[in-house]
Amino acid sequence: MNQRGFASDNNAGVHSAIMQAMSEVNNGHMVGYGGDPITAKAVERFKQEFGDDIDVYFAFNGTGANVISLASLSQSFNSVLCAETAHIQVDECGAPEKLTGCKLIPIKTREGKIYPEEIKKHLHGFGFEHHAQPGVISISQVTELGTLYTVEEIKAITKLAHEYDLFVHMDGARIANAAAALGLPFKAFTRDAGIDVLSFGGTKNGMMMGEAVIFFNPQQSRFTKYIRKQSMQLYSKMRFISAQFLAYFENDLWKTNALHANKMALLLESEVAKISGVRLTQKTQANGVFAIIPAEIIPKLQEQYFFYIWDESRSEVRWMTSFDTTEEDVFGFAKALKELL
């Protein structure tokens, strides 16, 4: 099997600048659990992006960040509304439901996104003790289908949510790819658009590990330090996460990585679109390409470039590009695909 592939941006390695940053703080002793000066600098760096009054909590991974976010916003009798394709619904093994006690309500999606008219159908039963109380709306940016919400679409969701006294959480596992594609600062489509809590990802864009949970109203994070500990997401040697984020923001490394991954996805989309027998199912807006190909060629193609089947029932596959994807990877993959067809 080719060691390179299009299965996931998680399969890529760690950017050399991130590795160097971790090595540089691997010297001597520092206070653990976030009491070190490196973590203080990283928190300040996030404040430069989002505002001085935010509250930031670092976690190991995306599932942990999402659980911390949702648990901080909810009680066990609440429900969380999300897209039927949402990572919290499909790919977190029920962790949000187990650890928050909340019921997830999946909503039918158009291109991976949910809209106010569909959300509103689930905003009922308030004050009725037999009904899970709607408490949080969770959206993903980039969505699990590789699509993007516009700022206006996000504002429409947060406006509706706040009218009903609900919170809005954003799963930003690929937030760098979204910012790069939209050409906007992070703040423009998160805090300024009405998002209450953000899971800010870095692992899929060149970091080794580490996500940040960002509260735009610290009143909502009163108990988050306890929730993070109970969720087993409090890292003792926190400086090794914090150093990565400092390197990630330095000279806009996050943007360089994300722009490259997005560019490679567009190239991949362009190349496979030329091949008879390939039907693209989503518009490529970030670093994911979705297509339907004949089922019988999938195992053979996976032997050369590994990737995942997205929807087995209709032979839909997902191809993800990364910060280290090369044009050679793309052209080689397209050639292999064409030969099999």
CATH number at residue 235: 3.40.640.10
167 within some domain: yes
CA distances to 66, 202, 235, 256 from 35, in Å: 23, 21, 11, 30
Same domain membership, residue 267 and residue 188 = no
8 within some domain: no
Distance spanning both ends of the chain, measured CA to CA: 19
Which pair of structure tokens corresponds to residue 332? Answer: 């080689």
Q: For residue 65, what pLDDT is reported?
A: 98
Q: Are 227 and 243 in contact (CB under 8 A)?
A: no
Give 211-228 pLDDT, tens digit per residue: 999 999 999 999 999 999
1 within some domain: no
Same domain membership, residue 159 and residue 295 = no
Helices (H) and strands (E) in the chain, counts: 13, 11
CA torsion 333-140-283-298 (nearest 10°) is 30
Write out the H or E segment, with its range, that includes residue 288.
Answer: strand 288-292
Q: Are 171 and 88 in contact (CB under 8 A)?
A: yes
Q: For residue 3, what pLDDT is reported?
A: 80
**CATH code for position 303:** 3.90.1150.10
* DSSP-assigned letters across all residues of 28-43: S---STT-SHHHHHHH
Same domain membership, residue 124 and residue 136 = yes
334 within some domain: yes
Q: Are 135 and 24 in contact (CB under 8 A)?
A: no
243 within some domain: yes
Same domain membership, residue 207 and residue 113 = yes
**Residues 6 or more apart from 183 whose CB is under 8 A from it?**
none
Same domain membership, residue 171 and residue 93 = yes
Cα 288 to Cα 145: distance, rounded to the nearest angstrom:
7
For residue 4, give the 3-state DSSP assignment.
coil
User: Domain boundary residue among 251, 283, 310?
Assistant: 251
Domain count, the chain: 2
Under-70 pLDDT residues of the chain: 1-2
Same domain membership, residue 197 and residue 54 = yes
Q: For residue 2, what pLDDT is reported?
A: 64
Same domain membership, residue 233 and residue 84 = yes
Q: For residue 110, what pLDDT is reported?
A: 78
- What Rg do the C-alpha atoms of the chain give, in angstroms? 20
User: Domain boundary residue among 251, 279, 309?
Assistant: 251
Same domain membership, residue 263 and residue 219 = no
User: Domain boundary residue among 207, 235, 251?
Assistant: 251
266 within some domain: yes
Same domain membership, residue 29 and residue 123 = yes
Q: Are 246 and 278 in contact (CB under 8 A)?
A: no
Same domain membership, residue 278 and residue 228 = no
**Which of 71, 47, 67 lies closest to 59, judged by CA?**
67
Same domain membership, residue 89 and residue 159 = yes
Same domain membership, residue 172 and residue 102 = yes
Q: For residue 60, what pLDDT is reported?
A: 96
37 within some domain: yes
194 within some domain: yes
In terms of residue numbers, what domain contains 116? Answer: 16-251
Q: Maximum CA pair distance of the chain?
A: 61
Cα 54 to Cα 47: distance, rounded to the nearest angstrom:
7
